[in-house]
Amino acid sequence: MSEPRVEGREHVPEQAMLFLLNRADLPTMQLLEQELGRERLAWVAELHHRPTDEVIAHLLETHAAGGRLDAAQMSRELMAQRVRDLLHSGRHVVLLPPAEADRVEPPHPPASLTQLAESLRLPMQALWSGQRQGAAGAESVLRFLPRQLPGEGVGLRVQMQWAEAAAEAAAQAWHALPESPGEALLHALLEHPDAVLTDGVDDSSTRYRDLLAPALVLRRDLSRFSRHGRLGIVLPPGRWAVVAHAACALCGIEAVNVDYTASAEELRRIMQSAGLTRLITEQRFVQKQNRFAWPRQRDLIFIDELLSDQGGRLRLWRALLRFLPRPQLLRLLRLPRPGDEATLRFTRGTTGTPKAVPVSQQALMAALRSAQELLRLRPGEPVLCAQPLHEPGGLLFSLLLPLLAGCRLITYPDPQAAKRLRTLIRRESVRVVALPPRRMAELLRGAERDAFTGLRLCLTTGDRLPRRLAAQAAREHGLQLSEAYGLTEATPLVAVDLRPAQAGAEPPHPRGLQPAPGIALRITDPYREHELSAPQQPGLIWLKGAMVAPAYADDEEASRERHRGAWFCTGDIGHLNAEGRLVIDARKIRFSQVEGEPVPHEELEDLLLKIFKADPNAPQRQLAVVAVPDRACGERLVLLSALHKTVHPNETVSLRYSIMNEGRPSQWQLQMIVPVPYIPTLPGGQLNYPLCYEWACRAAEAQR
């Protein structure tokens, strides 16, 4: 390891300053003493934030100045006065985090530390200590971050500073690693040759060793089928999907997973945007997916047919894999450089035309490393893979992550087949599942109480997890649902809640999500994006990290609108709670500001279901709140309702009072109730907002 590196020294003022340290291991403390002078430092710890024994021994040995604060017994004024006295003596005061902060990577101090610092109402400066990959290898870094003035929310701002520094260090470390997705897949298949992939359709099993040889045979043929270095893949999770993706990764072709629920026009747009002329699929899936607008036969590559007459080459590669040393195998394959694009993803298009998002090999590997640090999948652990690969979390959760971890994959092509999925979970002793919330609700509906006792990790992806669904799962099945927040433009795992759930009633407030390693967050005012949002107030969520795509491939205007340097605007509204955890409130298009009062549409929908005494867990959506333009007040709220056949003229007035009786402000009023036969949704269960908006605008225009 190289010499420790100190950055941001220009931020240190001449006068004494209160410093907040994210980790307090002995090397960090010694480096700080060296930089600022031992005689100019005073170390302070809260009584319940006990540092490590090694740190305490060092403080005693050096007769360090400072002391302890007892937040339970001392008033805020007395604690602040103790710190001021040390500052007036000319010493910098360093507030130490507890030992627990050093046991996680990256170091994450508890929110109580920054809340304590905020209560002192003193100017403060954050210090970030961690590891970073430099030119000469791993190096320790001590970074002085810009000073923060006292005031409400300064603790959260310090936490965001720490997260941004950690994300930048992680990005540099991940970019310095030479491994590409192709090389990572190759190593995984070689290191876990006896791991098994089980096809949930016909119960056939394939070992990892038998997946690699077909991929190596196929890689030579794919280059003549691809255009612009890209190839479309229309396959569900399963053996052929693994072979196709491995073959693309091993020969440097971008795999473009095509949405097989797309309309003919959407398919044409996707193929044109990606420059695709051929799609790789299999005969069985084409016959099953007969509603898809399949191109002409000559534009389809049937992977099963292509490999059916390659017996000689398959035997040759199996022999080479068995006897050829790995370094020689790597030289023979000439894998693509880490840095080229790995895949092209398309947004769901909930606000308009789907946009193409290029994902580099480094960004994909960063997303995989970050997710594995959080989820800790284990070799041989059974994982149910049923999420379509074209969905934001599908490629990661249904293919790459369990493959690289050496898990046992149980695949199934239809996430809506709840009865079959329950059978596979029980029969195969599945430990890990990832599905959208609506599919998870279908999985729980009608299940026996002990159907999910073997699950270790049950992630909901792609949409916000309703609190009532989490409470129902805990109460009826003893199952903890862990909400995962992610985006097509970033990683499927931006933030997640892995804390144990409490069985019982729906919690009064969202618990919040812990940002993933390598991700920094920023919350800004929804209408003044250059200003940070007030503490615990809804604002626009911005992301920064190695796994965030720098731009869209085919929409420069959207790229300029959503990107500010390294920061990406998610278009979601959320806030950081008192613990510094992320709470998702709504999409920006599903969030209105009425007379200065924030109105999240989804929360209003939940309230209306309660008022109408409707089943919140019904299989189909029953309500949708839509904001439409209004000449007088900017926008008006319209309710599309599948619960109503007709609407009484006074019903909106009585509904207004019902909403106010539930403790909501008068601004949460609806201008119209529009009966509709159904609420349109996308294949993943998300609201089809463009179509709902069109219906609401048409109804509002007809009323004028």
Radius of gyration of the chain (CA): 27
Predicted pLDDT of residue 151: 81
Q: What is the pLDDT of residue 440?
A: 92
Q: How confident is the model at residue 525 (pLDDT cuts 50, 70, 90)?
A: confident
pLDDT at 94: 93
Q: Which of 11-25, 494-508, 535-549, 569-583 shows the lowest mean pLDDT across its residues?
A: 494-508
| Whether pLDDT at 678 is above 60 | yes
Q: What integer pLDDT is reported at residue 137 of this predicted model?
A: 59
Other CB atoms within a 10 A radius of the CB of residue 27 amount to 12
Which pLDDT tens digit goes with each residue over 126-135? 999 887 665 4
Nearest to 696 by CA among 628, 629, 620, 642: 628
Q: DSSP secondary-structure letter at 516? A: P
Q: Among 96-110, 190-204, 290-304, which range has the highest average pLDDT?
A: 190-204
How many whole angstroms separate alpha carbon 614 and alpha carbon 606?
A: 10
**pLDDT value at residue 567:** 92
Q: Which residue has the higher pLDDT, 150 or 133?
A: 150
Q: Which residues of 640-676 are buried (b: 16+ CB within 10 A; e: fewer)?
A: bbbbbeeeeeeeeeebbeebeeeebeeebbbbbbbeb
**Per-residue pLDDT for 512 more than 80?**
yes
Q: What is the mean pLDDT of residues 167-177?
A: 79
Q: Which domains does the chain have, with CATH numbers?
A: 5-151 (no CATH), 181-519 (3.40.50.12780), 520-586 (2.30.38.10), 595-703 (3.30.300.30)
Residue 409's H or E segment, with its range, is strand 408-411
H helices within 51-180, ranges in order? 53-61, 76-88, 111-119, 154-176
CB-based contacts of 366: which residues, under 8 Å, 6+ apart?
A: 170, 171, 174, 175, 491, 518, 545, 546, 547
Q: Is the pLDDT of residue 431 over 90?
A: yes
Distances in whole angstroms, Cα of residue 406 to Cα of each of 207, 235, 238: 11, 21, 15
Grouping H, G, I as helix, E, B as strand and the rest as coil, residue 494 is coil
Tell me which DSSP letter residue 694 carries: H
pLDDT band at 310 (very low <50, low <70, confident <90, very high): confident
pLDDT at 588: 74
Give the DSSP letter string of 109-123.
--HHHHHHHHHTT--
**Residues 6 or more apart whose Cβ sits within 8 Å of residue 445:** 418, 617, 619
Query: Across residues 631-643, what is the average pLDDT?
Result: 80
Whether the pLDDT of residue 102 is over 80: the answer is no
**For residue range 440-492, what is the model confidence (pLDDT) as tens digits?**
989 998 899 888 989 999 999 988 888 888 888 988 898 999 999 998 888 88
Categorise residue 680: left if φ over 0, alpha if ψ from -120 to 50, beta otherwise.
beta
Q: Which residue has the tokens 């049923």?
A: 386
Amino acid identity, residue 702?
A
139 has pLDDT over 80: no
What global pTM score does this model have? 0.82
Give the model confidence (pLDDT) of 53-74 as tens digits: 898 999 999 999 998 988 888 8
